[in-house]
Amino acid sequence: MRKGRAREARPFDEGRFQVGRTMYLAIDFGGTRTRAGWFSAELALLRRAEAPSQTEEPPEAVIARIIGLARSVVPTGEMPAAIGICGPGAQAYTGIILNARTLPGWERVPLAEPISAAFGGAPTFMENDANLAALAEYHFGAAQGCDPAVYLTVSTGIGGGAVIGGRLFTGWHGLAIEPGHIPFVMPDGRVLDLELLASGTAIGRLARERLAATDTPSTLRDLARVDGRAVGEAAQRGDALARALIEEAGRWLGLGLVTLAHLFNPQAIVLGGSVATLGDLILQPAREQLAAHLIDPAFNDPDLLRLAALGDDVCLTGAALHARARLQEARPAS
């Protein structure tokens, strides 16, 4: 089950950390950038730092730099009551980076444990980015007061999270809410998942295939590199081929939303990630699928779909919320 959890490896020592106020350290370790934040008991972000992750370096060096960044936000003489880490990969909850696609070469690298050790063994809780974003949007963002709240991020990949009954829903092994892996059958019989049909990576790949297979004119033909971002920008400029590709992705996304609505009957589905920022170009075809394929209009509240409200610090905030929630679970009397 949940082996390697820092909480279990290093029992909480009440006496060492209650010197002053209950404060939380949050770390968002992303493939590109790492952020650290120092949060009050009420989860106000008091101090913040950010640096490139430089994950091409050996893990030891990267982890040492994460710890240095985290130290820079902790005031002299203070210690965190708990640490929340946003880590990559569906199985981040183990505290170990297992094999995140964004971190090639990082296999079975413990992350929670050395960070906990650097802060006197403070209880440390790691979760993946989409789960923590769901928690943050539920408490402070677009899904406030909405239960169940489902979060869907459409970016390089597709991830998700959900809050059910006021708590982060993680499933049996912490793997719940992977909407990127909802399967669809293609006309040729292949089974492709939503991430292969509607993520930024998929949009870029489909564009390159379409450009190679057809003569359709497109401003994309003038570009050295055609990726999801380039297709999005071309669609916003009015390029017809790019628009058709984004619309197609939106239709697949919409079928994914139909599935989420029928299974979770959520009060809100929050859409985050760079692809969602394309707005109606991708959301209108998605909404049309919801209108066409939900069996009952009761599933389709006018406010069901919402754009994420929190910005770059969404995962940092989620990590702080997670640290506080898990610490309170561990010490219900306090």
Residue from 58, 75, 104, 171 that binds a copy of itself (CB under 8 A)?
A: 171
Q: Using the minimum distance from each CB to a copy of itself, give the nearer residue, 165 or 238.
A: 165
State the nearest-atom distance from the C-beta of 234 to a copy of itself, in Å: 26
Contact window for a copy of itself (CB under 8 A) among 120-128, 179-187, 212-220, 228-236: 179-187
At 51, list the tokens. Answer: 């640096």
Contact window for a copy of itself (CB under 8 A) among 26-34, 258-266, 305-313, 322-330: 258-266
Q: Using the minimum distance from each CB to a copy of itself, give the nearer residue, 176 or 223.
A: 176
Closest CA to 37 of 273, 307, 277, 324: 324
Q: Which residue has the tokens 């992750």?
A: 53
Q: Does residue 107 sit in helix, strand or coil?
A: coil
Residue 141 and residue 37 in contact, taking contact as beta carbons nearer than 8 Å:
no
- DSSP assigned state of 88: S
Q: Is 176 among the residues that bind a copy of itself (CB under 8 A)?
A: yes
Closest CA to 160 of 232, 243, 248, 259: 259
Q: Is 302 among the residues that bind a copy of itself (CB under 8 A)?
A: no
Distances (CA, A) of 81 to 18, 46, 168, 269: 7, 15, 20, 32
Q: Using the minimum distance from each CB to a copy of itself, give the nearer residue, 259 or 274.
A: 259
Q: Is 172 among the residues that bind a copy of itself (CB under 8 A)?
A: yes
Contact window for a copy of itself (CB under 8 A) among 59-67, 160-168, 280-288, 320-328: 160-168
Q: Is 42 among the residues that bind a copy of itself (CB under 8 A)?
A: no
- DSSP assigned state of 27: E
Q: Is 265 among the residues that bind a copy of itself (CB under 8 A)?
A: yes
State the nearest-atom distance from the C-beta of 161 to a copy of itself, in Å: 11
Work out the burial of residue 299: count CB atoms within 10 Å of its CB; fewer than 13 is exposed, 13-18 middle, 19 or more buried. middle
Q: Is 309 among the residues that bind a copy of itself (CB under 8 A)?
A: no
Using alpha carbons only, how large is the chain's radius of gyration in Å? 21
Question: 236 to 255, contacts with a copy of itself by CB under 8 A?
Answer: 255
Q: Is 291 among the residues that bind a copy of itself (CB under 8 A)?
A: no
Contact window for a copy of itself (CB under 8 A) among 110-118, 163-171, 199-207, 220-228: 163-171
Please tell me the count of residues contacting a copy of itself according to CB under 8 A: 47
Alpha helices in 218-279 (DSSP H): 228-237, 240-264
Q: 111-126 b/e with 16+ CB inside 10 Å = b?
A: bbbbbbbbbebbbbbb
Backbone angles phi, psi at 26, to 5 degrees: -120, 140
Q: What is the C-alpha separation between 294 and 291, in angstroms, rounded?
A: 6
Q: Is 314 among the residues that bind a copy of itself (CB under 8 A)?
A: no
Q: Is 310 among the residues that bind a copy of itself (CB under 8 A)?
A: no
Q: Is 93 among the residues that bind a copy of itself (CB under 8 A)?
A: no
Residue 51 and residue 61 in contact, taking contact as beta carbons nearer than 8 Å:
no
Binding site for a copy of itself (CB under 8 A): 90-91, 146-148, 160, 164-165, 167, 169-179, 181-185, 187, 191, 193, 255, 258-260, 262-267, 289, 292-296, 298-299, 301
